[in-house]
Chains A and B, each alone.
Chain A
Amino acid sequence: MRITTTTATATALAAVMLAACGSDDGDGGDDSSSGTSSIVWDMWAGSEEDTAFLNDTLEIVRAENPDIDVQLQTAPWNDYFTKLTTNLSAGNVACVTSMNGQRLSSYAEAFMPLTPEDLETAGLSEDDFVDGALDIMTHDGQLYGLPFDVATMLVYYNKDMFADSGAPEPQIGWSFEDFESAAQSVSTDDHKGFGIGMAEFQWMSLPIAMSGKQPVDEEGNLALTDPDFVDAATWYAGLVTEQEVAAPPPSASETGWGETEYAAGNVAMAVDGTWNAVTYLNNDTGFAAGMTNLPAGDAGSTALVLGSGYGIAADCADKEAALQVLGSLLGKDAQDAMASSGRSYPARAESQPLYFESLDDAVRDEVQAAFEAAFADVEGQRSTDDWDQVNTAIQPQLVSVYTGQAGMGDMLEQVQQQFGN
């Protein structure tokens, strides 16, 4: 029995030494010892429906790469990044890993930078993707992956509420004055005109559109205290505190406040991504949903291109095979399937029309017009290395701002001081 204790102590010591070296780089969870190489594809998915769709895509990839054993691994969206962090810290990242563009800056080191030769190996070319799409998976001027969908923010509105109030519906190319008067005239005692945002671009998009400034400057420095941006953000908070066309969120844990309120039919307008267009059109609440691009500010219409993509893990053992899988995942067949399912607006240019074809006749033209206007002059989203942390710090503070306990300017100033240097 004493042996047990000794062994345990020895194991513990070994563990310390191993850990202290800190060089236990994993093999990416695949072993290429057995002739055919095996590649794990990590993706977020919640419902059976999501998984079924991904499995269909998996079949396409397998058919195109008969010599590679491709495995799909999924986690629900909310837990995906927690699990990814754990896997990273343990050197256990899937060779082909999905990444959300807004979060790339925090995870860039985990991915292999892609060169033009790599794209060639994957059977892809930069021209396959729509303009600006490659920015999604670019960090510090370096390409870390390729996008599977592109997105930007839209203003969604409840047509029924606009009809009831007699206010004119938002039009493509509208201004911030139009937005304000719409929000005011559609607000009633029963419901507010606008659902205030809590998540990063759900709230930042309007201030960015109004000021024409991103909260990160062109050199990649945090610029939360840029006077124009502060003014616009203060105006945005004023929608709750001064104009009272929006209600404050009841808790900092309501990360999707404005959008949830809109989907439930409790407010007339909300800002959300193009990725939810189909969800809103088919909303269970039963209202008629409309959509248009963000209002234009003095500096014109400023919108950011967002989206998600696939990267190759930095420590992937079989880069060649991983690139081939990547090529198939972003190939015409897979992207066509994604587009015609209406699940996401594909990043591959030739697949995009299929997305609109999947829509109902009654709304197709309107959606297409809104998408085209919104994507017309989008710019890449700039971010800092700690962008994720900046947002994590801002989000709970927003509640205090919306309830009038703190000023937007002070809050931005404080966050800028914490992360600015």
Chain B
Amino acid sequence: MSTELTTTTAPGDDRQGRRRGIGRGRSGDRPARKAQRRREALDTRVAGESRGAVRTVLAHVGVVIAAVLFALPLVYAFFSALKPNTEVFSMPPRLLASEVRWSNFADVFSYGPFTTYITNSFFVATAGTLVVLVVSTTAGYAFGRLRWPGRDLVFVLFLATLMVPQEVLVVPMFILMQWFGWVDSYQSLIFPFAFTAFGTFLMRQFFRGIPYELDEAARVDGAGAFRAFAQIILPLAKPAVAVLAVFTFLSFWNSYLWPLITVVDYDAHGTLPIGLASFSGQNGTRWDLQMAAAIISMIPTTILVIALQKHLVKGIATAGLGGR
């Protein structure tokens, strides 16, 4: 496994990438391959040119149908958040209930300490993302750009930890938190799952695609590895860092099982996902408020995705995740 992994994930040494710049264009246009493609393509030359317009229309229709199917549950969720609790499950289902209750969105905040949940989620997700960024970029640099004995072996071990299911670790992790005296603290929400290998993996992939001369010169000059990392490599890595930041933020924001276990005092350290569960009680569930709360909790992440949509796609492309 280890050798395969290295070949798939270590294209950085081949210097072709240099010509086109970072991380892109290494897909090669060697003459032999090109000729082969041409031969293959020859067979289908009969295809007419005039179908282009029809295709464009068809493509739009297809995408719109898919979009409607995809949006349907979301739309339904939104309208459910506007219903009185007892009509959420009314038969047959209706989009609009007997009344439109915008007040559900306000009631969410008076039902429980929802503002605290939001603030905590923000704080924990932001702090956790920062930790992940620092840890992943430095480790990714060591794996991707420095040569040291045992590097590939350690990296495979790193990757193996990606495969450990979180449910396995929850109880031992909780015992660990007790040894640290971290139960019911912000530390316990931020650190335990901030060291997963995904970020390191992603940053390593990206760093390998950067031409070696760029920082090698700096390091030999005596600028030092850290300065080479901070001043040359890191600025080039912005798109990949942005991708990692978004994915990390999302996973912290939606994390459920671990906060459920480690948070004792909901009023102080509760986060949004476990706050959502508090709408279910012994006397039934406030579905209306739960839906409204879910919609509210989607707002920040959706804005994040909309704002960074273009950069996300570019970032993934340049991070070497998409290509290889």
Contacts and interface: CB of A to CB of B under 8 A. Distances in A.
Contacts of B279: 46
A265 interface: yes
A338 to B, nearest CB: 14
Contact of A47 (B91, B112, B170): B112
Interface residues of B, number: 36
Interface string B26-63: 00000000000000000000000000000000000000
B101 to A, nearest CB: 11
18 contacts: A15-B176, A47-B281, A48-B113, A51-B267, A76-B274, A76-B281, A77-B280, A78-B277, A83-B261, A83-B264, A86-B170, A90-B175, A264-B87, A264-B89, A266-B90, A279-B283, A283-B86, A284-B86
B85 A74 contact: no
Interface string A358-375: 000000000000000000
Contacts of B85: 284
B89 A266 contact: yes
B294 to A, nearest CB: 15
A260 interface: yes
Contacts of B261: 82-83, 86
A51 B116 CA distance: 15
Contacts of B174: 86, 89-90
A82 B256 CA distance: 13
B110 interface: yes
A285 interface: yes
Nearest to A254: B89
A77 B281 CA distance: 5
B282 to A, nearest CB: 4
B260 A79 contact: yes
A264 B86 contact: yes
B105 interface: no
A19 interface: yes
Contacts of B278: 46-47, 76
Given A76-B281, A78-B280, A86-B171, A48 B264 contact: no
A16 to B, nearest CB: 10
A259 to B, nearest CB: 7
Interface in B261-292: 261, 264-267, 274, 277-286
A354 B147 CA distance: 78
A309 B217 CA distance: 72
A15 B267 CA distance: 32
A283 B183 CA distance: 39
B282 A275 contact: yes
Contact of A46 (B91, B112, B176): B112
A50 interface: yes
A275 B283 contact: yes
B284 A77 contact: no
B84 interface: yes
Contacts of B265: 73
A191 to B, nearest CB: 8
Contacts of B264: 73, 75, 83
A263 interface: yes
Contact of B112 (A48, A78, A266, A285): A48
Most buried by A among B87, B278, B282: B282
Contacts of A24: 175
A214 interface: no
Interface string B78-119: 000000111101110000000000000000001111000000
A44 B264 CA distance: 12
B166 interface: no
Interface string B207-218: 000000000000
B178 interface: yes
A182 B279 CA distance: 34
Interface of B: 84-87, 89-91, 110-113, 170-172, 174-176, 178, 183, 260-261, 264-267, 274, 277-286
Contacts of A78: 277, 280-281
B89 A46 contact: no
Contacts of A48: 110-113
Interface string A72-98: 011111110011001001111000000
A92 B178 contact: yes
A76 B277 contact: yes
A264 B287 CA distance: 12
Interface string A52-84: 000000000000000000000111111100110
A54 B91 CA distance: 37
Contacts of A256: 284-285
Interface string A21-33: 0001010000000
A161 to B, nearest CB: 14
A82 B284 contact: no
B280 A89 contact: no
Nearest to A344: B282
Given A26-B178, A48-B113, A90-B175, A259 B86 contact: no
Contacts of A90: 171, 174-175, 178
A239 B48 CA distance: 65
B30 to A, nearest CB: 43
A88 to B, nearest CB: 11
B111 A47 contact: yes
A83 B260 contact: yes
A291 to B, nearest CB: 15
B112 A276 contact: no
Nearest to B183: A92
Nearest to B90: A264
A194 to B, nearest CB: 16
Contacts of B267: 51
B86 A279 contact: no
Contacts of A82: 260-261
A73 B268 CA distance: 11
A263 B86 contact: yes
Given A26-B178, A265-B86, 12 more contacts: A46-B279, A48-B111, A76-B278, A77-B280, A79-B274, A256-B284, A259-B284, A263-B284, A264-B89, A279-B284, A284-B84, A285-B86
A276 B281 CA distance: 11
B262 to A, nearest CB: 9
A67 B261 CA distance: 31
Given A19-B175, A83-B261, A86-B174, A76 B280 contact: yes
